[in-house]
Structure 1
């Protein structure tokens, strides 16, 4: 059996060490690292002011009582984190605000008559059955938004869990270094 040198061990461990250090520095400095394909991957700056406007990116702790969230948590579909229910906040874009009209069909999500790309509402997730929000047309109520992440057509977002209350939104995010 070949002997592993300290140098080889250090080279093998370096990426993990860098990732842990970067994550710690990012969390302390008000940054979040996104490693999921729902939004551009990279580093996101947490804004000191919560801004709930169409087009803004947010982190949200979705109500774990929603059927899609119960399924996602039960099946460990989401990373562990500090949200009620034990999962990590979801990073999504606000696509609809109070007064907007959202239509969910099998083919797409439409907001105020504009179809959003990569938003086919899937009845089932590619891993397991995941309840989808009821198809139909909705008027966004006061104090609620719809969150979509159409970078990835299979993103877990309002297509599944429906509208999100302002109380579920933690932070506004801005891309700092993404790809």
Structure 2
């Protein structure tokens, strides 16, 4: 049996990768997002209309701020087409304008109530120190705090509040597993 040439195999690989990229772009244009991280359940989500509210799942482009740039370098977040050079992140809005947020070693408190499983990890899986916040804010107009549904999520417990302008879409699960 004759083996295909390296050039032919390479063409197939390039065509496969190009096809996957086109499918992903088409899916995003259709409002679909895929999550493969532990932050929220793995699966396919669709963008919904309207303004994001507390409790909603959202996709957002992280700003080009030091914690996000370090997360990108360490590959907690993947490279993508956001202005900061990363892919959109997907989290849940847990606090918004007027909410009192405290972040410390015990975890995240919102209006005095400790969020379950919100204690920050001291190090990542490779043993590298994670950012540590020990701060409190009352969120202003246009500020939100996003957290993942998992204790292993890289989220607001490490970077604090973000601007609601970073949100690109409210999302709802289509199929998760």
Q: Give, in whole Å, the separation in 2 of the partners of 1:3 and 1:155.
A: 49
Aligned equivalent of 2:160: 162
Distance 1:63-1:24 versus aligned 2 partners, 3 A rule: closer
Distance in 2 (alpha carbons) for counterparts of 1:91 and 1:146: 12
Q: Which residue does 1:99 correspond to in 2?
A: 98
Q: Whole-Å Cα distance in 1 between the matches of residues 91 and 122 of structure 2?
A: 20
Distance in 1, Cα, partners of 2:2 & 2:155? 49
- Asked if the contact 1:82–1:88 (Cα under 8 Å) also holds between the matched residues in 2, the reply is yes
- Give the whole-Å Cα distance in 1 for the aligned partners of 2:29 and 2:69: 30
In structure 2, what is the equivalent of residue 44 of structure 1? 45
TM-score by length of 1: 0.80
Give the TM-score normalised by structure 2. Answer: 0.80
Match of 1:57 in 2: 57
Shift of 1:173: 0.6
Distance 1:169 1:103, change over 3 A: same
SS in 1 for 2:101: strand
Unaligned runs of 5+ in 1: 5-12
Greater CA deviation, 115-124 or 82-91? 115-124
Partner of 1:8: none
Distance 1:48 1:95 in 2: 19
Corresponding residue for 1:81? 80
1:142 to partner: Cα distance: 1.3
What's the secondary structure of 1:71's corresponding residue?
Answer: helix
Q: Deviations over 1:73-93 (max 9, x none)?
A: 233332111112211010000
Cα deviation, residue 29, structure 1: 2.3
